Amino acid sequence: METTAARPTSTLGKIIWAILAIIGAACLAVIALQRGEPINAIWLVAAAVAIFLIGYRFYGKFIEHRVLQMDPSRAPPSVLRNDGLDYVPTDKWVVFGHHFAAIAGAGPLVGPVLAAQMGYLPGTLWILFGVVLGGAVQDFMVLGLSVRRDARSLGHMLREELGPLAGVVAMFGLLALMMIVLAVLALVVVKALTHSPWGTFSVACTIPIALLMGVYLRWLRPGRILEVSLIGLVLLLASIAYGAHVAATPALASLFDFDAKSLAWLLIIYGYIASVLPVWLLLAPRDYLSTFLKIGTILLLAIAIIFAAPQMQMPAVSRFIDGTGPVFQGQLFPFLFITIACGSVSGWHSIIASGTTPKLLSNEGEARMVGYGGMLMEAFVAIMALIAAASLHPGVYFAMNSPAAIVGTTVEHAATVISQWGFVVTPDELVRTAHEIGETTVLGRAGGAPTLAVGMAQLLHNILPGEGMVAFWYHYAILFEALFILTTVDAGTRVGRFMIQEIAGLVHEPLKGTESWIGNILATTICVALWGYFLYQGAVDPLGGINTLWPLFGIANQMLAAIALMLATVVTVKLKRERYAWVPGIPALWLVICTLTAGFEKVIGPISFTAAAQKYTQAMQEGTLMAPAKNLGEMQRIITNNAVDATLTAVFILLVLTMLGFSIYAIIKALRASAPTAHEAPRVALASLASGSI
């Protein structure tokens, strides 16, 4: 078995790495040990950069050479199957950019904001070490495995390496995850737009803007993506600016003023229509706009943090690590590790890392930069989101993210409750913040997006001052997230439809045909009904929805990550490299422990869905109504919703256990075998292929 020898590091190199290690350790020490006075966010940025560089240089290289044994002289799928379209050997920087654009989504912007209720330290440590030892390992190893297997998908590799049944089980897990992702992301939009005419108006404007762009790209100037995206951007900014006028004019504002339930219905209807329209009309143009806006906004956030260099106002560790926090329930272990999924370890990435990216890598030697490096970049985005949230006034943070059931619906009541927690805030401060961002209230805006938007708006306002600019930046950030999430909802519904048709095809072959019009409509309806159910449930939830649905999403996402890492462990053993099995094995085991513990706590015990259902059942038997239910029908609905959530969590637990069983079985079998049993594609030397013929 050949291993590519790593070039020895020069003396100067060693000195530089040693200095970097000291800087990283010093920054971490400042972050972890500073008590009493607030620290500057730059310490976090510096610690992150140092740790990521060291992780990339040493652990990434270790995985590249020892565990995956990447071989730059071996022809990758892009060369062997070059078709000029999907399989094309591509410049590594281009592949890196494409990969990052595909993996970075709304997830790393939401989870860390929610986790900030425990203080910034737990989240920071989990992001930094979780990504170096878990998330980046997963992305890199799945990419490495896929490159060795003709760029096969995760599902295909699971079927091959763990058996056909494991593949089917994973398929159901993936579908369930998809539905929860779509529901929870749509709920983030609902939370951000509830009774916000300005936000709703500018988000609504994206529909005609996208349609216009679609027509322009299709008929007027085919394929001019950059040009049309610039036009779209100008129109979007104009719609944000005009939104201020809409919000200030009562007659116009009332047209765009909706409660959570109506917004949920609007999103469900919109999602359905959008996903059956031709892609070029609405989905594709909005996708272009959101892709560019996403990268642009991430850069903007980085610039804002570096230039504004904010102080962290949230304590390093808050009292809510004991599990009594208002944003999400549950103790630090395991719920921190569930709440921050994307940014630290994200199971969804295993789909991307075994999708388009392995078809583009022109050389196995570039997999570390794209797979490991790409994930480190995403972790950096998560750190920035955490900074934006933790540099906000904690009183404002908790007012925005706590459910009405805990802090009430008036600023006076909220300020009293939050001040009692030790985060002193006056009603006046909350009113002023709402006024600054051009909204009527900041209460009940859970879901990460609005908090991030306020944080970002204040940071940007620090470096670009101007009258009314906080409100503009706030609505820009809301629009950016909404645009991005709507694209995910639309594209995700299409993907969900294919998944449903594939599963239906297992039962009845003809249902698989994606060209069948009736099959399409049927599968789309099922798909929208599934995520729509959870979205609506979130909109009527007594705890505001995010509090309930985000743990479900976290459990599902980490479950997928655990499955991907278990696959990597199995393959490592099958390749007879069992001495390195701990590399994917330890994070896999950690995620299994976290998902199972969180899962059990959500099924049985004081913070479980079952307990919530029981509380309402008891109240119903006593003949009393519990908020927010206004009648017995609504009481019954809350009970049913909690029962559904408990069942779903139980299914996730069962899924993890099943996959764990399959993995252990495969590992034992592989250990007994005398030769490697992994299904790698045969090696073809890159040099044996005449250059130019590819």
Partner 1 sequence: MTLLRIWQRLVQTARLSCGVPDYEVYVTHLRTHHPERKIPTYAEFFRDRQVARYKGTGGRCC
φ, ψ of residue 74 to 5 degrees: the values are -95, 135
| By CB under 8 A, residue 519 contacts partner 1 | no
The one-letter code for the residue type at 138 is Q
CB of 52 to partner 1, least distance (A): 19
| By CB under 8 A, residue 102 contacts partner 1 | yes
Which residue, chain included where needed, has tokens 């979130």? Answer: 538
CB of 495 to partner 1, least distance (A): 4
Q: Which stretch binds partner 1 (CB under 8 A): 14-22, 39-47, 354-362, 394-402?
A: 354-362
Task: Indicate which single residue of 151, 205, 246, 351 sits in contact with partner 1 (rule: CB under 8 A).
Answer: 351
Q: Which stretch binds partner 1 (CB under 8 A): 287-295, 302-310, 409-417, 653-661?
A: 287-295
22 to 41: interface string for partner 1, x by CB under 8 A: --------------------
Distance separating alpha carbons of residues 41 and 370, to the nearest angstrom: 27
| By CB under 8 A, residue 476 contacts partner 1 | no
Alpha helices in 348-448 (DSSP H): 349-352, 357-360, 367, 374-390, 394-401, 404-407, 411-420, 427-436
Distance separating alpha carbons of residues 239 and 236, to the nearest angstrom: 5
CB of 222 to partner 1, least distance (A): 3
When the beta carbons of 105 and 373 are compared against partner 1, the nearer one is: 105
Q: Which stretch binds partner 1 (CB under 8 A): 101-109, 144-152, 463-471, 651-659?
A: 101-109
Q: Which stretch binds partner 1 (CB under 8 A): 86-94, 413-421, 465-473, 528-536?
A: 86-94
Own/partner contacts of 280-284, CB < 8 Å, gap of 24 or more, are 280/214, 280/217, 280/218, 281/211, 281/214, 281/215, 281/218, 282/207, 282/210, 282/211, 282/214, 282/490, 283/487, 283/490, 283/491, 283/494, 284/214, 284/217
When the beta carbons of 181 and 417 are compared against partner 1, the nearer one is: 181
CB of 352 to partner 1, least distance (A): 6
Structure tokens at 99: 């990969």
3-state secondary structure of 311: strand
Q: Which stretch binds partner 1 (CB under 8 A): 103-111, 421-429, 540-548, 670-678?
A: 103-111
Q: Which stretch binds partner 1 (CB under 8 A): 215-223, 534-542, 569-577, 676-684?
A: 215-223
Task: Indicate which single residue of 266, 279, 302, 625 sits in contact with partner 1 (rule: CB under 8 A).
Answer: 279
CB of 98 to partner 1, least distance (A): 4
Q: How far is C-alpha 558 from the chain's CA centre? A: 11
Q: Are 192 and 445 in contact (CB under 8 A)?
A: yes
| By CB under 8 A, residue 322 contacts partner 1 | no
CB of 553 to partner 1, least distance (A): 8
φ, ψ of residue 597 to 5 degrees: the values are -60, -50
| By CB under 8 A, residue 156 contacts partner 1 | no
Q: Total residues at the site for partner 1 (CB under 8 A)? A: 57
Q: Are 375 and 342 in contact (CB under 8 A)?
A: no
When the beta carbons of 97 and 676 are compared against partner 1, the nearer one is: 97
CA-to-CA dists, residue 604 to 326, 596, 609, 649, angstroms: 20, 12, 8, 11
CB of 499 to partner 1, least distance (A): 8
Distance separating alpha carbons of residues 386 and 41, to the nearest angstrom: 10
Which string of b and e fits 135-172 if b means at least 16 CB within 10 Å? bbbbbbbbbbbbbbbbbbebbbbbbbbbeeebbebbbe
Structure tokens at 635: 């009481």
Q: Are 181 and 527 in contact (CB under 8 A)?
A: no
| By CB under 8 A, residue 80 contacts partner 1 | no
| By CB under 8 A, residue 270 contacts partner 1 | no
Task: Indicate which single residue of 98, 319, 576, 679 sits in contact with partner 1 (rule: CB under 8 A).
Answer: 98
| By CB under 8 A, residue 284 contacts partner 1 | yes
When the beta carbons of 497 and 602 are compared against partner 1, the nearer one is: 497
CB of 516 to partner 1, least distance (A): 15
Q: Are 123 and 320 in contact (CB under 8 A)?
A: no
| By CB under 8 A, residue 218 contacts partner 1 | yes
* Cα-Cα end-to-end distance for the chain: 27
Distance separating alpha carbons of residues 514 and 579, to the nearest angstrom: 45
Distance separating alpha carbons of residues 104 and 385, to the nearest angstrom: 13
Contacts of partner 1 in 478-497 (CB under 8 A): 487-488, 491-492, 494-495
φ, ψ of residue 615 to 5 degrees: the values are -60, -45
When the beta carbons of 294 and 461 are compared against partner 1, the nearer one is: 294
Q: Which stretch binds partner 1 (CB under 8 A): 15-23, 82-90, 316-324, 595-603?
A: 82-90
Q: Which stretch binds partner 1 (CB under 8 A): 16-24, 87-95, 114-122, 448-456?
A: 87-95
Q: Are 185 and 534 in contact (CB under 8 A)?
A: no
| By CB under 8 A, residue 227 contacts partner 1 | no
Residue 231 buriedness (CB in 10 A; 0-12 / 13-18 / 19+): middle
Contacts of partner 1 in 539-568 (CB under 8 A): 553, 557
Which residue, chain included where needed, has tokens 């896999």? Answer: 588
Distance separating alpha carbons of residues 251 and 51, to the nearest angstrom: 54
CA nearest to 526, candidates 175, 55, 86: 175
Task: Indicate which single residue of 356, 617, 636, 658 sits in contact with partner 1 (rule: CB under 8 A).
Answer: 356
Judged by the rule CB under 8 A, the positions of this chain that interact with partner 1 are 82-86, 88, 90-91, 93-94, 97-98, 101-107, 153, 181, 185, 217-218, 222-223, 225-226, 279-280, 283-284, 287-288, 291-292, 295, 342, 346, 348-349, 351-352, 355-356, 360, 487-488, 491-492, 494-495, 498, 514, 553, 557, 693
